[in-house]
Amino acid sequence: MKPPLALMNYRVVVCLGAGGVGKTSIAAALSLGEALRGRTVDVMTVDPAPRLLDALGLDSDSSEPRNVELNGVSHRAGARLRALRLDPKATFDSLVERYAPSAGAREAILQNRIYRNLSQALAGVSDYMAIEKLLELHGEPTTDLVVLDTPPARHAIDFLDAPRRILELLNSRAAVLLGASSGFLGQSLKLVDIAARGVLKAFDRLTGLRLLADIQEFVRGFEGMYQGFAERAERAQGLLRDPRCLILIVNSLRAIGLKPGGLIVNRTLPEMPSLAELSKLKIAPALKRKMRRNWEDFAALKSRESESLSALRAIMPRRAPIVVVPDLGREPARLADLAAIAHWLTGVELDDDSPPASTK
């Protein structure tokens, strides 16, 4: 197995992957491990489990960085760990408040019912807002490292490509159609576009919902803000490609010019006990037979796990570390649990009374 992750040369760590693999706990443990070394670290989590929220001292509305008390875990002087939970709508609102061209435009967008729904439900908003928050945290002069737990995605490219996708949406033909003023009808719009607007107007007359007017108001409200979105998207792409940004986990990164800096295999099975030891147990024969069947089942799982690890090592870049983290046997609920995971990830030393992770 290659040595644990060395993060001292990095300013950003991005953890990618699907939901349910312990990605949020890994991000939190990496952050704690670097804080224990004396660095100032910010970690942004996405939908953490209640126990992890408790371990970090967060609550459900912790959308701004909050200091994590490091009492009970040994750390060097100067250590600081801040954590926050991504709130896509709050982040979107803050962007509108910061970059709207006028107070009137800001209020028009925030109060628009289309915006209020889309800012919470639009596909890709969580990805894009995570990147926006990453840029904000990275700009903090007192922060040594930012660790980002990304929203769950089937493919890493779904997250990494979020800035381009959100810009394409805002600049799409549909947005131009819905936001175009009536003075340009017949000059810049095709007949099919005029027909589409006619259908929406007819729908408004029948329902009284003023759907077209609300959508037009929403689209026009962003006039003057597109350039800012484009500039930040370019900054985000540059940050993700910076040598001081470590991309951890999964697939399809080469398609957009990124290389995985490492792979974390979480919750691996412990080493199997010796079958000879089982045969020496002084227990009823029937129970011993059941235990032997259980041993054989787990041995088969362990064998498949070992084969999978070998296959992963074969396809990863030669110098990219593969870090194997044993299963704790429970969900991490305390800083001590995260410190045990951090020990496997980064090699940070634990106190003698700290509970170790399962050995591998």
- Read off the pLDDT of residues 164-173 as tens digits, 9 standing for 90 and up: 666 666 555 4
Question: What Rg, from alpha-carbon coordinates, does the chain have?
Answer: 25
- Read off the pLDDT of residues 49-89 as tens digits, 9 standing for 90 and up: 777 888 888 877 778 889 998 877 877 788 899 998 888 88
Nearest 5 degrees, angle CA 255-CA 256-CA 262? 80
CA distance 86 to 151: 9
DSSP classification of residue 100: -
How much of the chain exceeds pLDDT 90, in percent?
9
The pairing of strands 263-268 and 66-67 is: unpaired
Side by side, the strands of the sheet bearing 66-67 are: 66-67, 80-85, 40-45, 145-149, 12-15, 245-248
Domain ranges of the chain: 12-262+316-346
Please tell me the predicted confidence (pLDDT) of residue 203.
Answer: 40
The pairing of strands 40-45 and 322-326 is: unpaired
241: number of Cβ within 10 Å: 14
CATH 3.10.450 fits 12-262+316-346, yes or no: no
**3, pLDDT greater than 50:** no
Residue 249 or 269, more confident? 269
Prediction pTM value = 0.65
The pairing of strands 66-67 and 80-85 is: antiparallel
